[in-house]
Structure 1
Amino acid sequence: MTARAPEAAMPVPGPVSGTRITEEYARMVARQAYFWAWPMINVHNRRQTFKDLPEPGLMGGVVPVAPLNRLSMLSDYIEAQERMVACPNQDVVYGAASLGLDVEPVVIQVPDFGDRFWVYQVVDVRTDSFAELGKMYGTRPGFYLLAGPDWKGDVPEGIAGVFRSSTDTGFVIPRVFQDATDEDKRAVQPLINQIDMYPLSMFDGKLKQRDWSKQPRFPAQDTGGGAETVWVVPDNFVDELPLALKDARPLPGEEARYAEVLAVIAAAQQSPELKAAMLDEAGRAEQDLVGPLLQFRHYGLPLPHNWTTQNNGAQFGTDYFTRTAVAKSNIFVNRPNETKYFYQDLDDAGARLNGGKRYTVTFSGGQLPPVYGFWSLTLYNEHHFFAPNEIDRYSVGTKNKDLQTDADGTLTIYVQADAPSDAKHRANWLPTPQGGGFSLYIRAYWPGEAITSGQWTPPAVSAVGD
């Protein structure tokens, strides 16, 4: 009988433990890892920041924050001074929560919203969605369970559905449409007060209600000059990355990538010189690779009139470029069937949008964004936040009941710093900063087929003078 040769052992991916490696190699690995892990470290650090809060409340009196596995809701639109999440909007009432599903699964409540548009965004540490909760899904009112990858408990009676994440860390953002009238603000309050999220151990089968207009205020974070709160710090990269990767298990095909990064970090932890080189390279990657992606014109799928978009929001998988670009410029986007996003930094001639000029955006009759939910056109400053203006208007769209159209249904939005003298034009005025660059951003919530198929795209942003 012929003896069989022993099977060869599978090679260990990445440098073998104890291997001497060069600074140049460590820099290469650090540069790549910093880029593709940026969204994971971002979400991981949000969890770490809020986990020990005493109770749900408002950071700086403006931003909903809560301890781990709890939720905080606003009771009105987000205010203009918000700086914790880029590209906020004033079409919905927001909530926010950090998930720690390794601690315990959580229960999230869905009230009966009737005909009102709503969607709960529930993402893992990669910013990929793992739950379908919203009007477009026909979700029934009730209690839903969010569980981590290793949870093996029993689902209690009274739970309408279970959504399981592939990671223990995540983020939850309920969005409930509210129009710009005082009447609708009053009407939405009973619904908002029935939205809540809490650990499974608190579940008793009874709907919990809370008056979200009465929450404690916590001190505001220092954002350093009007930009988004810094969630990813290059100097902390080597220490934080292993924690994020421990939570986010490799996607298929990522095993070798993980092993290489962790092996190099292990070497750097034993060598101050290598660690310093990796941190230096992380800083360079932030400046050279991640930083430019704040600008919408640097990524995305090109569309007519210099608009761009993306088709895989919240389901990025291994599209590391788009995932990091979206995380840098407008993190926590919905899936494309929930919301379609259109981005604009340029006018129709290709010049940077600037508050020193006047522009028009004209939707021809019958060419408003075709949606089942609602649409809006929002304006952001160079940091992707609201630019304060005399009428406190930062977006226009379905929520506005006083927009003026022509006889044929044409709607023209006047984008400029000074108030139009004509009353009709003033009703359609979207104020810009007095000077400097700005961006426009169209949201189409629950988009129709013409949008999802690419047949409908936004109209030109036309410069009409200084």
Structure 2
Amino acid sequence: MPETPAGPVPGALLPDSYVRTVGRFAYVWGWPMVSMINRRTALTSVPEPGLRGGVLPNAPLGRVCMLTDYIPAGQRFVACTNQDVLYGFGFGSIDEQPAVFQVPDFGDRFWVAAAWDHRTDSFAQMGKQYGTKPGFYAVVGPHWDGELPEGITGSFRSTTALAAFCPRVFIEDTPEDRAAVMELLPYVTIYPLDQFDGTMKTDDWANVPTFPVPGEVSAGEIRWVDPEHFFDQLPEVLATVPPLPGEESLYQQFRTLLAAAEASPEVKQTLLEVAQEAEQELISPLLRWEFNGPAAGNGWFSPKNNSAFGTDYLTRAAIARSNMFENAPQETKYIFTDTDVDGGQLEGTQGYTVTFAAGDLPPVHGFFSLTLYNEHHFYFENDLGRYSLGTKNPDLVYGDDGSLTIYVGNTRPDGAPESNWLPAPPAAFSLYIRDYWPEQAILDGTWLPPRVERVG
């Protein structure tokens, strides 16, 4: 019996409407993975670990660069960063060369080290919540079949050769804690397996070089996916990211479409138009938080499958567009909103209160924070240099009843403690709660995020 084709027979004439329908779906499906390709290319094009534009850690493949302070407000490489941790970042081609995560003794300090595959799914479990012991942890690609040397403490295997790495180390906003972290930081590093010798290496992260920013920087995130070139890059995704169970026919549909574009200038032009339309009509709206997960209560939204998307292509694309590189839910629960409790768009010309009742702070084993972002999901630069409030801030003022109220707006309300004020731009903004190592009440939705109430 002849094999049943998984898509149109090669050479079949494809109607314009079919090309547009399959092309739009391919754009949403492949957008996060094309973004990964372009981020890898841009952020590894340095000769050694250093800071791109003096603000964002970049490193060659297989390496990582660590920040020694909160990530600066002016960077436009990655949206929705936080100011609770010291970041490291890098990429690996781990079929060719596994990478070694070096883990020092963090004591009681919270830390987590994420690794994402090409689909942006998390595949490694390293951090305080996992009870990870000091040592050396290898991350390997799906086709790497070598033997790990003696002295490697544990290993994790990715389903794709391309992987992104991001160690995060919690730091309180005090001089004392900054000094304490600096003792640990040189030992937090990632390097290729062929550099492993069983000894703890150190890197002087406070004195890394600065590299120029390629191209222009705008108010929004760097454009990591260019519609004009999307369908030229999609073949690399199909060739290097193996299909999930059940995706085989999907891959064949996309390959048939690309083959038709190769053979017909008219089909190729249609796909170019599809990409431009899909970017505006399907991808751009995903910056709104209401498309990034189900309702979490009181006007907030929260994903339930971040970094474990499976075939949830919509949420994967939404998070890649709005908030790339989220930790897995059990590591960090992300809760966000563009509106107040009554559904009105948050605007800095208005004032708002965010009140956690006594005993109702986010139940976490790690820490929590409330961060404010402008309309592009970056920090609003202000005279206080304040972009979030939470566990890291020991000077927050609590009410007589034990409640905590954070005041949000472009100006501080009369009588409000300055320590509890989160400055906002005189324009649209959003709010974002991070709960690191959340307790079950956050994971199952028993705990509700606070009401964001307009004042006056």
Q: Distance in 2 between matches of 1:314 and 1:177?
A: 21
Choose from 419, 443, 453 the match for 1:427: 419
Report the 3-state secondary structure (helix = DSSP H, G, I; strand = E; otherwise coil) of the residue aligned with 1:213. helix
Is residue 153 of structure 1 aligned with residue 153 of structure 2? no
Q: Per-residue deviation at 1:224?
A: 4.4
Is residue 445 of structure 1 aligned with residue 447 of structure 2? no
Q: Deviations over 1:11-48 (max 9, x none)?
A: 23122222222222222111100001111111111112
Choose from 75, 86, 111 the match for 1:118: 111
**Do the aligned partners of 2:76 and 2:217 also contact (CA within 8 Å) in 1?**
no
Q: Per-residue deviation at 1:223?
A: 5.1
**Do the aligned partners of 2:104 and 2:134 also contact (CA within 8 Å) in 1?**
yes
**Do the aligned partners of 2:96 and 2:144 also contact (CA within 8 Å) in 1?**
no
Report the number of matched residues. Answer: 456
Q: Distance in 1 between matches of 2:290 and 2:11?
A: 44
Report the 3-state secondary structure (helix = DSSP H, G, I; strand = E; otherwise coil) of the residue aligned with 2:176. helix
Is residue 133 of structure 1 aligned with residue 126 of structure 2? yes
User: Structure 2 stretches of 5 or more lacking a match?
Assistant: none
Q: Per-residue deviation at 1:247?
A: 1.4
- Return the letter of the residue paired with 1:429: W
Is residue 395 of structure 1 aligned with residue 378 of structure 2? no
Is residue 271 of structure 1 aligned with residue 298 of structure 2? no
Report the 3-state secondary structure (helix = DSSP H, G, I; strand = E; otherwise coil) of the residue aligned with 2:27. helix
The equivalent residue for 2:400 is 407
Q: Deviations over 1:261-299 (max 9, x none)?
A: 011101202222211110110111110011000010234
**Do the aligned partners of 2:406 and 2:421 also contact (CA within 8 Å) in 1?**
yes
**Do the aligned partners of 1:145 and 1:159 also contact (CA within 8 Å) in 2?**
yes
The equivalent residue for 1:176 is 169
Report the 3-state secondary structure (helix = DSSP H, G, I; strand = E; otherwise coil) of the residue aligned with 2:279. helix
Choose from 383, 405, 425 the match for 2:376: 383
**Do the aligned partners of 1:50 and 1:68 also contact (CA within 8 Å) in 2?**
no
TM-score by structure 2 length?
Answer: 0.98
Q: Distance in 2 between matches of 1:344 and 1:202?
A: 44
**Do the aligned partners of 1:77 and 1:94 also contact (CA within 8 Å) in 2?**
yes
Deviates more, 1:393-402 or 1:232-241: 232-241
Is residue 144 of structure 1 aligned with residue 137 of structure 2? yes
**Do the aligned partners of 1:91 and 1:178 also contact (CA within 8 Å) in 2?**
yes
**Do the aligned partners of 1:66 and 1:97 also contact (CA within 8 Å) in 2?**
yes
Q: Distance in 2 between matches of 1:266 and 1:197?
A: 40
Is residue 300 of structure 1 aligned with residue 293 of structure 2? yes
Is residue 364 of structure 1 aligned with residue 363 of structure 2? no
Q: Per-residue deviation at 1:166?
A: 0.3
Q: Distance in 2 between matches of 1:52 and 1:365?
A: 50
RMSD, aligned α-carbons: 1.2
- Return the letter of the residue paired with 1:452: L
Q: Per-residue deviation at 1:421?
A: 4.0
- Return the letter of the residue paired with 2:422: L
Percent of aligned pairs with the same amino acid = 51
Q: Per-residue deviation at 1:206?
A: 1.2
**Do the aligned partners of 1:301 and 1:310 also contact (CA within 8 Å) in 2?**
yes
Q: Distance in 1 between matches of 2:346 and 2:43?
A: 36
Is residue 461 of structure 1 aligned with residue 446 of structure 2? no
Q: Distance in 1 between matches of 2:163 and 2:414?
A: 48
State how 1:27-176 maps to structure 2 within 5 Å.
27-176=20-169
Is residue 232 of structure 1 aligned with residue 225 of structure 2? yes
- Return the letter of the residue paired with 2:381: P
Q: Distance in 2 between matches of 1:182 and 1:107?
A: 31
Report the 3-state secondary structure (helix = DSSP H, G, I; strand = E; otherwise coil) of the residue aligned with 1:170. strand
Change (3 A) 1:247 1:452: same
The equivalent residue for 1:313 is 306
Is residue 354 of structure 1 aligned with residue 354 of structure 2? no
Q: Deviations over 1:43-80 (max 9, x none)?
A: 11111223332111101000001111111110110000
Is residue 342 of structure 1 aligned with residue 338 of structure 2? no
Q: Deviations over 1:364-389 (max 9, x none)?
A: 10000010000000000000000011
Q: Distance in 2 between matches of 1:379 and 1:171?
A: 26
**Do the aligned partners of 1:313 and 1:333 also contact (CA within 8 Å) in 2?**
yes
**Do the aligned partners of 2:50 and 2:59 also contact (CA within 8 Å) in 1?**
yes
Q: Deviations over 1:168-205 (max 9, x none)?
A: 11211111000000111111012111111111111111
Report the 3-state secondary structure (helix = DSSP H, G, I; strand = E; otherwise coil) of the residue aligned with 2:9. coil
User: Structure 1 stretches of 5 or more lacking a match?
Assistant: 1-7
**Do the aligned partners of 1:83 and 1:223 also contact (CA within 8 Å) in 2?**
no
Change (3 A) 1:221 1:377: farther
TM-score by structure 1 length?
Answer: 0.96
Q: Distance in 2 between matches of 1:416 and 1:50?
A: 35
Choose from 236, 240, 255 the match for 1:247: 240
**Do the aligned partners of 2:372 and 2:429 also contact (CA within 8 Å) in 1?**
yes
Q: Distance in 1 between matches of 2:163 and 2:245?
A: 20
Deviates more, 1:371-380 or 1:402-411: 402-411
Q: Distance in 2 between matches of 1:51 and 1:75?
A: 20
**Do the aligned partners of 1:73 and 1:212 also contact (CA within 8 Å) in 2?**
yes
Q: Distance in 2 between matches of 1:299 and 1:129?
A: 17
Choose from 6, 12, 35 the match for 2:5: 12
The equivalent residue for 1:436 is 427
Q: Distance in 2 between matches of 1:202 and 1:75?
A: 24
- Return the letter of the residue paired with 1:418: T
Report the 3-state secondary structure (helix = DSSP H, G, I; strand = E; otherwise coil) of the residue aligned with 1:193. helix
**Do the aligned partners of 2:44 and 2:58 also contact (CA within 8 Å) in 1?**
no
Q: Per-residue deviation at 1:102?
A: 2.8
Q: Distance in 2 between matches of 1:118 and 1:299?
A: 25
Choose from 309, 322, 346 the match for 2:315: 322
